[in-house]
């Protein structure tokens, strides 16, 4: 042993070696268990068909990691990805100044690696909103939230649902924390902040149950007011959650898309699912979107029935619980395929 080491007491050497060993073990364990989660992409990425417009699905990290059939059905069918929950305020920004991008990063990274378009969803919504964001200086917190999220994914998110579900079923504006304090101007603030943070992203106003009737008229009226006062809005999202017994026809959707086009705006079917998975309902939306020059794409809300937000028993998606294609799949993809 070199004389200088001999001068160090054996006990100190032992403690040092022990500490080093422990740190090494922790580092290995950390990489195995504690590292940021990833989507387990296969070595060979399946290639979806060639569509005339993006065909998307909402995706969640949990199912993508534990259910191979879900991930495989997604990868081989869809060309656009919407994080189902990962970008929602309560998930990504649970306390003021505290951010958790783990799941959103994993989904966006997977989309980039598999060349899928990303729809960011949603920036401002009064659901899945942590209590802190609804109290105090809600305008400043809204600006901070929108700016941080949009900047982080600049260049990777093609479209954002900037404002989600601002309307009641009767067409009036929901009395959410921002509407109560700022009036309708909160919508202007959300869009302007998003535009400044990423001038390239397409900015959407997204609404549920507004495919027909007074809610559709109110949605168009709101979009017209926004456009007329110079708010940087690019498009309107129609969620199109529907049922096999009462779904919007191709004609109704074609009229909707045309009315939106008349405002100079794009449109997207953003969250489609159909209780009972009527192939006619899926075909109606796919045809309407395929035929409308201003329709930028169609997204379904989930992949397989097993993970559907409205429950497996509703059988609402184009793939069954085991990931087998249902007749709805052909109905959906047929009209969108490039001929
Ligand atoms: C749903 C998710 O699918 C569920 O997992 C979550 O528990 C609640 O939200 N409109 C929207 C979506 O804009 O964000 C909602 O997603 C469905 C209705």
Active site residue 271: yes
Q: Which of 211, 271, 275 to mutate to test the pocket of ligand 1 (most atoms within 8 A of CB)?
A: 271
Report the alpha-carbon distance of residue 44 to residue 73 in Å, rounded. 14
Whose alpha carbon is nearest atom 1 of ligand 1?
309
Count how many residues are written for the chain.
339
Active site residue 165: yes
Average pLDDT rounded to a whole number, residues 37-47: 97
| Dist. CA 13 → ligand 1 center (Å) | 57
Residue 7 predicted with pLDDT over 80: no
Give the residues across from 120 on adjacent strands: 160
Report the alpha-carbon distance of residue 156 to residue 178 in Å, rounded. 28
**pLDDT for the residue 1:** 43
Name the 3-class secondary structure at 250.
Answer: helix
| Dist. CA 128 → ligand 1 center (Å) | 9
Which candidate, 177, 89, 72, places its Cα nearest to that of 129?
89
Listed in sequence order, the residues at least 6 apart from 317 whose beta carbon sits closer than 8 Å to its beta carbon are 273, 277, 300, 301, 302, 303, 304, 305, 308, 326, 328
Q: In this predicted model, what pLDDT tens digit does every residue of 170-181 receive, in sequence order?
A: 999 999 999 999
Q: Which of 56, 302, 309, 314 to mutate to test the pocket of ligand 1 (most atoms within 8 A of CB)?
A: 309
Catalytic annotation, pick one of 165, 211, 266, 268: 165
Q: In this predicted model, what pLDDT tens digit does every residue of 181-217 receive, in sequence order?
A: 999 999 999 999 999 999 999 999 999 999 999 999 9
Contact 55, 332 (CB under 8 A): yes
Q: Which of 62, 83, 84 to mutate to test the pocket of ligand 1 (most atoms within 8 A of CB)?
A: 84
| Dist. CA 205 → ligand 1 center (Å) | 16
Which run of H or E residues covers position 225? helix 213-228
Average pLDDT rounded to a whole number, residues 254-280: 98
Q: Tokens 């937000």 map to which residue?
A: 309
Residue 13 predicted with pLDDT over 90: no
| Dist. CA 82 → ligand 1 center (Å) | 11
Strands 202-207 and 117-120: unpaired
**pLDDT for the residue 30:** 46
**pLDDT for the residue 35:** 80
| CA distances from residue 295 to 48, 54, 243, 264, 285 in whole angstroms, order as listed | 20, 10, 22, 12, 11
Neighbours of 132 (CB within 10 A): 15
Q: Who wins on pLDDT, 100 or 29?
A: 100
Listed in sequence order, the residues at least 6 apart from 227 whose beta carbon sits closer than 8 Å to its beta carbon are 233, 263, 264, 265
Whose alpha carbon is nearest atom 7 of ligand 1?
309
Whose alpha carbon is nearest atom 4 of ligand 1?
309
Task: Give percent of the chain above pLDDT 70.
Answer: 90
pTM over 0.95: no
Catalytic annotation, pick one of 103, 266, 268, 271: 271
């Amino acid at each position: 042993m070199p004389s200088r080491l001999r001068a160090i007491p054996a006990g100190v050497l032992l403690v040092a070696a022990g500490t080093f060993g422990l740190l090494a073990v922790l580092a290995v364990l950390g990489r195995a268990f504690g590292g940021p989660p990833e989507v387990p992409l296969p070595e060979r990425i399946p290639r979806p068909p060639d569509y005339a417009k993006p065909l998307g699905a909402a995706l969640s990290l949990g199912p993508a990691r534990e259910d191979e059939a879900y991930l495989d059905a997604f990868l081989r069918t869809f060309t656009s990805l919407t994080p189902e929950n990962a970008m929602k305020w309560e998930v990504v920004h649970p306390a003021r100044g505290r951010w958790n991008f783990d799941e959103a990063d994993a989904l966006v990274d997977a989309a980039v690696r598999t060349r899928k378009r990303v729809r960011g969803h949603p920036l401002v919504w009064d659901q899945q909103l942590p209590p802190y964001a609804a109290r105090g200086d809600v305008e400043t917190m809204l600006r901070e939230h929108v700016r941080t999220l949009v900047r982080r994914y600049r260049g990777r998110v093609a479209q954002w649902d900037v404002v989600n579900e601002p309307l009641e079923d009767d067409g009036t504006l929901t009395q959410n924390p921002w509407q109560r304090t700022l009036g309708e101007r909160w919508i202007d603030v959300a869009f302007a902040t998003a535009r400044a943070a990423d001038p390239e992203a397409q900015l959407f106003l997204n609404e549920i149950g507004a495919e027909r009737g007074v809610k559709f008229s109110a949605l168009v009226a709101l979009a017209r007011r926004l456009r007329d006062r110079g708010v940087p809005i690019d498009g309107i999202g129609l969620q199109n959650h529907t049922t096999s017994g009462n779904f919007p026809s191709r004609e109704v959707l074609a009229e909707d898309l045309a009315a939106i086009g008349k405002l100079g705006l794009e449109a997207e079917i953003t969250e489609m699912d159909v209780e009972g998975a009527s192939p006619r309902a899926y075909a109606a939306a796919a045809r309407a979107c395929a035929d409308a020059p201003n329709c930028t794409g169609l997204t379904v809300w989930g992949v397989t029935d097993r993970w559907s937000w409205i429950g497996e028993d509703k059988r609402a998606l184009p793939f069954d619980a085991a990931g087998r294609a249902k007749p709805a799949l052909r109905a959906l993809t047929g009209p969108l395929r490039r001929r």
